[in-house]
Structure 1
């Protein structure tokens, strides 16, 4: 009787570890496309992503680079003041999207051009995404607005 209880306890523990391993593997499999890493234009140039890798790029929309094509196609360049990456996007841009404004785009690189599937823009005149601020601070070119504390 004692041996049977010990054997059953070991079976339950082994089964729990197997279920934990399977659930961890399923979660990892489900999230493989859901994790998008942020990169600045300088990081994209210095360490190019693999073909088809989905990531987020952020910076300032370069002045004079916004070109509206036929339909909903838009092209522009994103810069961190050191490097500039051309971007194309087929869709409706956010209302506050403008040149010299902060933006973050999700997509992948194709033949040296970032093909965006989603574009996020600032939501007021002082806001800039944290990732963009951090990237600009690394370059030494970020100046916080006078009415906003340094973050």
Structure 2
């Protein structure tokens, strides 16, 4: 085999290997991607049941129920729409009514959001950037400074 043909086979083989590696990276990236929705966005265009997403908003006052078997049921709102959330784990210490949170999980076929993780703000001035942006768009959140920055 001539050297030019041998080089051509090597370049072609390397191209196939690189294409395979790129395909695997894109597949892994797609599995790790979790989209964020506000309650208004869910009401306008709900994600498919079972798709892993994040939802964020304010915990509606008077909506938190703590069943005897543990966990919690509560409602998230951005004042324009609401999402009913079920969470079986232990809620963060800073979780309370009227507070901005982000919940990660999926919607079931009845439209109930089954949360696998609930994140609450860590101090008085912090608001998760996704929640702050969604609440600002609704004209609800009046926080000082940029979203996502903690006060010092």
So what's the TM-score if we normalise by structure 1? 0.90
Q: What is the match of residue 114 of structure 1?
A: 113
SS at match of 1:67: coil
Q: How is 1:74-85 mapped onto 2 (pairs within 5 angstroms)?
A: 74-85=72-83
SS at match of 2:32: coil
Offset at residue 24 of structure 1 (A) = 1.7
Structure 2 unmatched runs, 5+: 148-152
Q: How is 1:1-151 mapped onto 2 (pairs within 5 angstroms)?
A: 4-110=2-108, 111-144=110-143, 148-151=144-147
User: Size of the alignment, in residue pairs?
Assistant: 146
CA RMSD between the two structures: 1.4
Offset at residue 31 of structure 1 (A) = 3.4
Tell me which stretches of 4 or more aligned residues in structure 1 moved more than 4 Å: none
Offset at residue 140 of structure 1 (A) = 2.0
Offset at residue 46 of structure 1 (A) = 0.2
Distance across 1 between alignment mates of 2:60 and 2:31: 29
So what's the TM-score if we normalise by structure 2? 0.90
SS at match of 2:55: strand
Offset at residue 135 of structure 1 (A) = 0.4
Offset at residue 16 of structure 1 (A) = 1.6
Distance across 1 between alignment mates of 2:6 and 2:56: 55
Distance across 2 between alignment mates of 1:53 and 1:10: 44
Distance across 2 between alignment mates of 1:15 and 1:70: 61
Structure 1 unmatched runs, 5+: none
**Deviation per residue, 1:13-62 (Å, 9 max, x gap):** 11121111111222233333321000000000100111211100001111
